Amino acid sequence: MSDKYDVIVIGSGPAGYVAAIRSAQLGLKTACIEKWKNKDGKGINGGTCLNVGCIPSKALLDSSHKYHDAHAAFEAHGISTGEVTIDVPTMIKRKDAVVKQMSGGIAGLFQANKVTSLYGTGKLLAGKKVEYTDFDGKTTVLEASNVILASGSTPVAIPVAPVDNDIIVDSTGALEFSSVPARLGVIGAGVIGLELGSVWSRLGSDVVLLEAMPDFLSTMDQEIAKEAKKIYTKQGLDIRLGCRVTGTEIKGREVEVTYTDADGNEAKQTFDKLIVCVGRRPFTEGLLAGDSGVNLDERGFIYVNDLCSTNAPGVWAVGDVVRGPMLAHKGSEEGVMVAERIAGEKTLINYDIIPNVIYTHPEVASVGKTEEQLKADGIPYNVGTFPFTAIGRAVAANESDGKVKMLAHADTDRVLGCHIVGPSASDLVQAVALAMEFGTSAEDIGMTVFGHPTFSEAVKEAALAVNGHAIHMPNRPKRKK
């Protein structure tokens, strides 16, 4: 371990482990340091995403959706199940098994690609040296030609709702409930709040989401955001906008939340559990020595250029710890780019085409520009929308909520954005992202033969609608803006 490495990666989340594997594939001697421990106290790879983020939350979303279907949706198909119950500990056990399988997969990939896996903490010192401290407290100074910082992010804490990991929890604690809370409060109606709120709402919780912002999903296309809010409300989520939490008080086994509503009035509500998910912040505690040469920006992110290079020569940073959306796939692509640039290749990332997904049901997904962004930038555009209620596959599957919205340049017809709320939105938007990467036009998508019956026909019809050519609904006058 005293040998010098070509690459040392600190962090084995989606950005870090991908950077390590790709570096090793390119012939670079690589080590990856990870401080995460599993429930048995053993080192485990995957970071937040695999251990308490993307993967476990999707496992619970899938389980809760199956329960909801069995409880409320099967009857429409003529299926009778009798009494349907949920065994929460078994559901959590399944979630843990999924996490173990996926994180174990990374360990296998490290071994196959000859990545040295080190469990403990890493601190960047001056001169591309890394102080590695293992779980037993033994410290070793490692040297590298290149260091990649991929330390990820952590939930934002707010003083008015201190997490006690019992009654008041963060997004991690919300994955470990042992029973279904009758009354569940969620501070924050963003992606994480909606996903976690959906899990427990499907299982029977009365869920109230308190969102400080006046607009719902303010960074998303607002036509799609409003459609999504309508669907969530119909499902039973109580979404309250413009509500600022001013205090919490734990009383026995419940918590009283005080907040100011959209009209400026003080209100109180009592919950059995409260989830705090108001965002995430970059995690840099203990990561950088004072003389490391790496700078942070005004928001606490590691400062990097477009190629993810820091101020310190030979030191790079990727994933949630740097600017841009905190998305696992964005970090993974940065990890690949950095590894390949270290190896002398000229890889780049198109940051304009990064899909974003909310894994509620139905899903919400987007790629490219929103209508609000196009208006603000003064870009002329046409709009095409198409509802899933006019898609045979969606109606047959009883999955007809939502719509597809396509935005294209008014002069060139080049697709500038696509926004979907509906069945399989995460997969549908990815096809549009691929098309956008190659500069496709709405006409190109409209001329492409789509299988029938499929959910994806809504994408084709929205593309046709951009130019007033939709087949399966009356066309409105072109909405050139």
423 neighbors 397 (Cβ within 8 angstroms): yes
Q: Which long-range contacts (CB under 8 A, 24 or more apart) does 234-239 make?
A: 235/198, 235/201, 236/201, 236/206, 236/207, 237/194, 237/197, 237/198, 237/201, 237/207, 237/209, 238/206, 238/207, 238/208, 238/209, 239/189, 239/209, 239/211
The burial of 136, by beta-carbon neighbours within 10 Å (0-12 exposed, 13-18 middle, 19 or more buried), is given as: exposed
Cα–chain-centroid distance for residue 134? 30
Strand 403-409 relative to strand 415-422: parallel, antiparallel, unpaired?
A: antiparallel
Count of beta carbons in the 10 Å neighbourhood of residue 247: 13
The length of the chain is 481
Cα–chain-centroid distance for residue 79? 34
Instruction: Please state, in angstroms and rounded to a whole number, the distance separating the CA atoms of residues 335 and 123.
Output: 19
462 neighbors 384 (Cβ within 8 angstroms): yes
Angle subtended at Cα 86 by Cα 85 and Cα 91, rounded to the nearest 5 degrees: 155
> Which structure tokens are listed for 198?
């959906």
**Which residues are catalytically annotated?**
452
Cα–chain-centroid distance for residue 348? 22
Instruction: Please state, in angstroms and rounded to a whole number, the distance separating the CA atoms of residues 378 and 374.
Output: 6
Count of beta carbons in the 10 Å neighbourhood of residue 350: 10
State which amino acid sits at residue 255: V
Dihedral sign for Cα 287, 356, 165, 16, please.
negative
H or E element, residue 170: none
